[in-house]
Amino acid sequence: MSDFVTAGGARSLYLVDNNYELPFSLTATGGVGWQLNGVTSLDVDYVHNFSTDQLGTTDANLPASGTVNASNPRPVANYSQVGVLTNFGESWYDALEVQLRTRVRGTDNLQVSYAYSRSRLDGVTFYSTYRGTERTPQQDGYNPTDTPHTSRK
């Protein structure tokens, strides 16, 4: 290892922030159901989730401004990235779910479901992922796993 670093190889650290907290989330659901007739029912549900203190990694060895280069080196020259696992992310999930169930003559049951959802985040999708840039840390946008329309028969 020391030969690698002496030859100019990258040396990095990965640390856990001193103020590390366990992430948590709050979830609420509510719904109503109607019996439309003797064989048909309709259910409508709302789901909300808010998660905070989500984990991500920041690089603690960046110069005060600008890109890292020969004239603007990292503050601790012996190390390249110094990753720090920290709580900086939040995420939101909202969904409206509709389900229609009926018995069909000559067969069992027929069920049709539809969900419209939205999943947003301000952070990264996996704890070991670095922010895109430390200069503009606000990363609010749609979650890459956002799938707004879901149906099932």
How high is the mean pLDDT of the chain? 85
Looking at residue 26, what is its pLDDT? 97
Whether the pLDDT of residue 153 is over 60: the answer is no
Q: 71-121: per-residue pLDDT in tens?
A: 988 888 888 888 899 998 899 999 999 999 998 887 788 899 999 999 998
Q: How many CB atoms neighbour CB 77 within 10 A?
A: 8
Looking at residue 34, what is its pLDDT? 96
What is the Cα 71 distance to its own chain's centre? 36
Can you state the percent helix, strand and coil of the chain, rounding each to 5?
A: 5, 55, 45
pTM greater than the 0.85 cutoff: no
Looking at residue 50, what is its pLDDT? 97
Q: 16-31: per-residue pLDDT in tens?
A: 999 999 999 999 999 9
Q: What is the DSSP letter of 77?
A: T
Residue ranges of domains in the chain: 2-152
